[in-house]
Amino acid sequence: MKNIVIVGGGAGGLELATRLGHKYGKNKQANIILIDRNRTHIWKPLLHEVATGSLDINTDGVVYRAHSHSHYYQFQIGTMIDLDSQNKRITLAALFDDEGKEVLPERTQSFDTLVLAVGSVSNDFGTPGVSENCFFLDSNQQAERFHQALINQFMRINQQSSKSELRLAIVGGGATGVELAAELYHVASLLNIYGMPDMSAKRLKIDLIEGGPRILQALPERIAVKAKQELAKLGVSIHENVRVTQVDKKAVVADDLRIGADLIVWAAGVKAPNFIQEIDIFETNISGQIVVKPTLQSTIDDSIYVIGDCCACQQKNGSWVPPRAQSAHQMAGLVYRNIIQNRQGEPLSEYVYKDHGSLVNLSKYSTVGSLMGNLSKGSMFIEGRIARFVYISLYRMHQVAIHGLLKASTVMLAQKIGSAVKPKIKLH
């Protein structure tokens, strides 16, 4: 029986494993194997909510092992560290527990078809002090690490005089940085009902630092202008055209500026995981992404597909597909069809990116964005409740893709009930 191995259980990887499980795994026509370093899946656009405590991964995440049982694929926990394309096998690193004891040894997994969906990590551009002094939001663990530090800082400020402030610096004015800033104000405004009576959003000082000419550079300017206005209302200090040259334990440093901070989050761009460059097999671009053919097959081996943030796919107009959740979703759908067509001896389809628009969720305060994208001659600007509804709908569509309509509806109902009885934020 042939092995179809998917490395990376993000939006694209998990959706693909689910569909292939029902197509081939259920009838034992192929082994569908999903590999991820985490035990639990969370939709990456929501990691900033995990970081602030608005979302609890223990109740809102998808446990891979349980999910795999229901959707006819196999799950292996592991981190890919090497690839032998000639012998069609990958190597997974040894797994250790918190005490350093080996849980699983280094091991290999053979494949007939390999799909790399390993996502992206933050790009520090070699800036001194970033790796040592900043928090990142690339993974569940990093988001929860920041959450613990945030709660500790909230408790510290709550015990101090009313004039003291919690200072946070967010480097990077993309969607993650903008949404995190708004969510932090929302969480701070709730703490006075959960045992921190002297804590409020007024004691929060956030500096959002962007190296380019404006925040949200990848999105239409009208969205950026509206988001900037909303953040200013909350009290966020926005610094544009400020290129960070160094970060130390208590400050972000630019050429002629020093911005003090108790916590620093780095969200200033992404790149493919370092191991892709280290295995030195693929054709890659400046961000370490794997260059692919229009069919999303790698340029070095047709049995290897690449989807999501780690994929460098150039369109016929010369543009490159942006690293977004909608890209990963579309790519997963195309690779699903191409795997089927390849097994049936049919020609493979080429990927054409369809921009359905962009949305930025500013917590409870506002949601702004555009719809339609290149599906029409222009885009339609939306904000407020309509935009919030569309934003939530994108997550609901992802839930349907990985659970099916009936189970997804049940999950949504359970989450709705849970939100009514549990605290509004995670406090531990």
Q: What digits encode the pLDDT tens for the residues 291-313?
A: 999 999 999 999 999 999 999 99
Cβ count near 307 (within 10 Å)? 34
State yes or no: pLDDT of 206 exceeds 70: yes
State yes or no: pLDDT of 419 exceeds 90: no
Coil, helix or strand at residue 123: coil
Coil, helix or strand at residue 388: helix
State yes or no: pLDDT of 350 exceeds 90: yes
Cα–Cα distance between 217 and 225 in angstroms, integer? Answer: 11
What is the overall mean pLDDT for the chain? 92
pLDDT at 374: 46
Cα–Cα distance between 357 and 125 in angstroms, integer? Answer: 28
pLDDT at 383: 84
The most confident of the ranges 208-212, 368-372, 380-384, 391-395 is 208-212
The domains located in the chain, with CATH, are 3-45+58-120+272-343 (3.50.50.60), 123-269 (3.50.50.60)
Q: Say what the pTM is.
A: 0.92
- CB burial of residue 21 (10 Å; 0-12, 13-18, 19+): buried
| C-beta of residue 199 within 8 angstroms of C-beta of residue 188 | yes
Q: Which two tokens stand for residue 29?
A: 């026509």
Mean of pLDDT values over 157-169: 88
Q: How confident is the model at residue 377 (pLDDT cuts 50, 70, 90)?
A: low
Cα–Cα distance between 3 and 31 in angstroms, integer? Answer: 5
pLDDT digits (tens, 9 = 90+) for 47-57: 999 999 988 88
Q: How confident is the model at residue 417 (pLDDT cuts 50, 70, 90)?
A: confident
Cα–Cα distance between 88 and 82 in angstroms, integer? Answer: 11
State yes or no: pLDDT of 393 exceeds 80: yes
State yes or no: pLDDT of 114 exceeds 70: yes
Within 1-61, strands assigned E span: 3-7, 31-36, 40-41
Cα–Cα distance between 71 and 60 in angstroms, integer? Answer: 19
pLDDT at 375: 41
Cα distance between the two ends of the chain: 46
Cβ count near 234 (within 10 Å)? 19
pLDDT digits (tens, 9 = 90+) for 14-32: 999 999 999 999 999 999 9
Mean of pLDDT values over 414-425: 78
pLDDT at 16: 98
pLDDT digits (tens, 9 = 90+) for 250-280: 999 998 899 999 999 999 989 999 999 999 9
Percent of the chain with pLDDT over 70: 98
Percent of the chain with pLDDT over 90: 75
Q: How confident is the model at residue 372 (pLDDT cuts 50, 70, 90)?
A: low
Q: How confident is the model at residue 380 (pLDDT cuts 50, 70, 90)?
A: confident
pLDDT at 121: 94
pLDDT at 31: 98
State yes or no: pLDDT of 212 exceeds 60: yes
pLDDT digits (tens, 9 = 90+) for 145-156: 999 999 999 999
